[in-house]
Structure 1
Amino acid sequence: MKITDIRVTHVNVPFDAPFWWTAGLYGGASKSIVEVETDEGLVGLGEAPWWHFGEVIKAEIAPALIGADPLDLADCEARCVPPWQITANTGENAASVAFGAVELALWDIRGKAFGLPLYKLLGGAVRKDIPFSEYFAFRPQQDGAGGEMSPEAIVDYCLRMRAEHGSSIFEGKLILGDPELEIRTVRMLREALGAGVQLKLDSNMQWSLTTARWVLREIEPFNIRNYEDPVASFEEMAALRQHSRIPFSTHVPDLRRAVALGAPDTFVCNFAALGGLSRTLKFIAACEAMGKGFWCYSNDLGIMTAAYLHVVAATPWITEASQSLFRWQVGDVIEDGPFRQQNDTVRVPEGPGLGVALDDGAMKRWAAHFAENGPMNHFTDPASPGRYRRLPLN
């Protein structure tokens, strides 16, 4: 089998309402959808974590892979990705991330070639119902959606998600630069939701170490399951660990530093950002050996989410719920998408490969959205147009 073509399509998928994070208002996802065609008629699907990696695929990765055997992952990677020691040293890791998106499509081809779902290629399922958290945040109102701009509204939203969807795992960003607001909202959430519900937080590095010490001291009695990136560095997390028992997670995949410093406790990663599924499996194995946790990223579309489902299904070490923004996505590029959890879980697909198929109409719609509007801006600060925020906020 040979690769005959690689197509890249940029798409936007907005949220029903934007949410506040440390860098401003976050309105949705801009991704590159990858289709790898073969001379045997099989097409593999991949997804890049941000659209500009799709440009790298078109310019560098696709020309290198035409004619390659899609089942020979080592050869394909050697055609596209320089030695990681060099790219890590120079910061030129775009090729690794871009290849990671394509490599996902190669795994999809492999599953289709053997007629097996991806989780069976990875050794079989230890679970079929995969846990995901429900998400909350301060969200301005937009076209009848959102409007959760107070602690009371956040509490009402979470209670509604529990009543309508059986949600009992909640993760959220309480990011308006006001530590007292976060403390009050956490207290109200715990009182309203009760002791049996998981509460996780994510500040996207908004707090200074001094403020983080105060905030975590005040919220620790409310049984916080995890706090993601409360401060901006591993060194600050290690210092914060001296004052708090709350576990920490991060999107920064530096395992050596985390082990040396003792913090953070868990990595939350996108598979393409780690260089592909093969490298992700090695990273998870290293996390297990070093006693560090792992779960999956949020704000991905259905192709990457399907990969998360299969890997978590086949990986005993991943026991905690992964992040999700499913409820806010107004669409997807896959048939019957987006995935949405019920009673905290999503069922792993049983079709060959990733087990998902593109929705041609949705692809056209969201590609047109990108073409007409450009990529979604994650850094919009209405208070300072044309300027980027600086950390920490407090």
Structure 2
Amino acid sequence: MRITGMRTTPVAVPFRTDEIWAFGRRRGQVSVLLELETDEGVVGLGEAATYPSADIVLAVFASLEPLVVGADPLRIEQLVRRIDVVGTWHHVGASSPAIAAVEMACWDIAGKVCGQPLVNLFGGRFRDEVEFFWYVARAEPDEVAEEGRRATAAGFSTCYLKVGADGPRRDVERVAALRDGAGSGARIRVDANEAWSPGSAVRVIRELARYDLELVEQPVSGRNLDEMAHVRSRVDVPLLANEASWTRQAQLAVIKAGAADVISVDNQMDDGLANLRRSAGMCEAAGLPVVKHSLGELGVALAAAVHALAATPNARPAHQAYGALLTDDVVDGFGGPAANYARGHLAVPAGPGLGVELDRDRVERYADLYRREGAGFGFHDRERVHAAAALPKF
């Protein structure tokens, strides 16, 4: 079997409310869908988050084509190493969601050829369903409280809130409102996106601790592990590494530095699903659970993540997905808006490969939206394009 073509389709799916974080916002999810065609008629699906932008991811796909077309899609490790070494990504020191999408599509082909769901190629189900959190993406305390009530009513057990406002009092008000809205039984996870200095992080986390936080994600710079370890040694709330841990090499450094209690892993930022599972194994050896990070994903990438996480024993906490924000999706019967989740969980798809298929009408609808309005869906906040932004904020 040989790969004969790569078909890419950028799509834009709106959120029901803007995603807002310490230094920006976006109004919806832009992904590039990949269809990897073969000479035997088997087509593999992949999906790339458009990070840092759609134009860059599409350019990476174009650069990968000479390395991918003609390859055997069942020799996944060989193909990824070719991209890494011959394609020089090893020297870049980072990866691209486009590479992960190629690897994902190859796994989809492998599952279809074997007639097995992808989870079985990863060792079988350790769990039958995977838990995700409710993304609280509103700013005002009364809105945050309402989102907490909405999460509880929808059956989600974990709420995730962006903090890192321009002043700490605002964050305290919002976390208090979330606890009030979600109730005493909900788990609350906050994410500062590197917004705090070490001293500020210790002070703010100690103040927020009275609201019984599950985790604080990346309170300080991910580039200074000594700072993270310093904060961890001075607070009682467990810390989750994210910006510090997007690759296996970075995760190993976090483990060595004793800088986190939980480590975030992301197949889209580290060459694919096989490496996500390598990351999880490394963290398991260190006695640490892992959480899947998301740059935003639709049903194709979400299905791939569910297969991998279901087969990974230490993928225990609720993971990141965008069900609380998405208004629609591009696949049939999986992922998408929160109504498609059962108590915040998604069951592992049962079909061969990823077990999902594209809804062609919706793909065309959201491809057309991307063509017309794609520039308005970017990661940056247009109101802050010319702002003098810097981290930490205080």
Same fold (TM > 0.5):
yes
* Structure 2 match to 1:227: 216
Instruction: Return 325-334 or 191-200, whichever deviates more.
Output: 191-200
User: 1:83 offset after TM fit, Å?
Assistant: 7.5
How many Å separate the matches in 2 of 1:373 and 1:387?
A: 23
Instruction: Determine whether 1:356 maps to 2:345.
Output: no
List runs of 5+ in structure 1 lacking aligned partners. Answer: 139-148
How many Å separate the matches in 2 of 1:124 and 1:232?
A: 37
How many Å separate the matches in 2 of 1:196 and 1:114?
A: 43
CA distance 1:385–1:107, change in 2 (3 Å): closer
Q: Aligned match of 1:286 in 274, 282, 288?
A: 282
List runs of 5+ in structure 2 lacking aligned partners. Answer: none
How many Å separate the matches in 2 of 1:83 and 1:221?
A: 52
CA distance 1:260–1:325, change in 2 (3 Å): same
CA distance 1:9–1:130, change in 2 (3 Å): same
* Structure 2 match to 1:242: 233
Q: Aligned match of 1:307 in 304, 307, 311?
A: 304
Q: 8 Å contact 1:13–1:329 — kept in the other structure?
A: yes
* Structure 1 match to 2:167: 178
Q: 8 Å contact 1:37–1:43 — kept in the other structure?
A: yes
Q: Aligned match of 2:206 in 214, 217, 239?
A: 217
Q: Which AA in structure 1 matches 2:58?
A: E
Q: Aligned match of 1:74 in 68, 74, 77?
A: 77
User: 1:330 offset after TM fit, Å?
Assistant: 1.9
SS of alignment partner, residue 374 of structure 1: helix
Q: Aligned match of 1:320 in 279, 298, 317?
A: 317
CA distance 1:279–1:385, change in 2 (3 Å): closer
User: 1:72 offset after TM fit, Å?
Assistant: 1.0
Instruction: Determine whether 1:274 maps to 2:275.
Output: no
Instruction: Determine whether 1:193 maps to 2:182.
Output: yes
* Structure 2 match to 1:142: none
Q: 8 Å contact 1:23–1:381 — kept in the other structure?
A: no
The 5 A counterparts of 1:1-394 are 1-50=1-50, 51-52=54-55, 54-82=57-85, 87=89, 90-91=91-92, 93-94=94-95, 97-138=97-138, 149-163=139-153, 165-233=154-222, 234-251=225-242, 252-253=244-245, 254-298=250-294, 299-339=296-336, 340=338, 341-375=341-375, 376-380=377-381, 382=383, 384-387=384-387, 389-394=389-394
How many Å separate the matches in 2 of 1:23 and 1:318?
A: 29
| TM superposition score normalised by structure 1 | 0.90
User: 1:192 offset after TM fit, Å?
Assistant: 4.4
Instruction: Return 70-79 or 240-249, whichever deviates more.
Output: 70-79
User: 1:385 offset after TM fit, Å?
Assistant: 4.6
Please list the CA deviations of residues 87-138 of structure 1 after superposition, one character each: whole Å capped at 9, or x if unmatched.
55x43534x6432210100000000011100111111112112100111132
User: 1:351 offset after TM fit, Å?
Assistant: 0.7
SS of alignment partner, residue 272 of structure 1: helix
SS of alignment partner, residue 234 of structure 2: coil
CA distance 1:370–1:180, change in 2 (3 Å): same
Q: 8 Å contact 1:190–1:222 — kept in the other structure?
A: yes
| TM superposition score normalised by structure 2 | 0.90
Q: Which AA in structure 2 matches 1:123?
A: G
SS of alignment partner, residue 165 of structure 2: coil
How many Å separate the matches in 1 of 2:189 and 2:312?
A: 22
How many Å separate the matches in 2 of 1:180 and 1:195?
A: 21
CA distance 1:83–1:263, change in 2 (3 Å): farther
Q: Could you tell me the percent identity over the aligned residues?
A: 31
How many Å separate the matches in 2 of 1:29 and 1:343?
A: 23
How many Å separate the matches in 2 of 1:65 and 1:194?
A: 50
Q: 8 Å contact 1:258–1:265 — kept in the other structure?
A: no
How many Å separate the matches in 1 of 2:19 and 2:251?
A: 30
User: 1:337 offset after TM fit, Å?
Assistant: 4.8
Instruction: Return 154-163 or 300-309, whichever deviates more.
Output: 154-163
How many Å separate the matches in 2 of 1:20 and 1:33?
A: 25
CA distance 1:58–1:133, change in 2 (3 Å): closer
How many Å separate the matches in 2 of 1:226 and 1:83?
A: 40
Q: 8 Å contact 1:111–1:117 — kept in the other structure?
A: yes
SS of alignment partner, residue 328 of structure 1: coil
User: 1:391 offset after TM fit, Å?
Assistant: 1.4
Q: 8 Å contact 2:57–2:97 — kept in the other structure?
A: no
How many Å separate the matches in 2 of 1:135 and 1:374?
A: 23
Q: Which AA in structure 1 matches 2:159?
A: F
User: 1:43 offset after TM fit, Å?
Assistant: 0.6
- The CA RMSD over aligned residues, in Å, is 2.1
How many Å separate the matches in 2 of 1:78 and 1:24?
A: 35
Q: How many pairs does the alignment contain?
A: 379
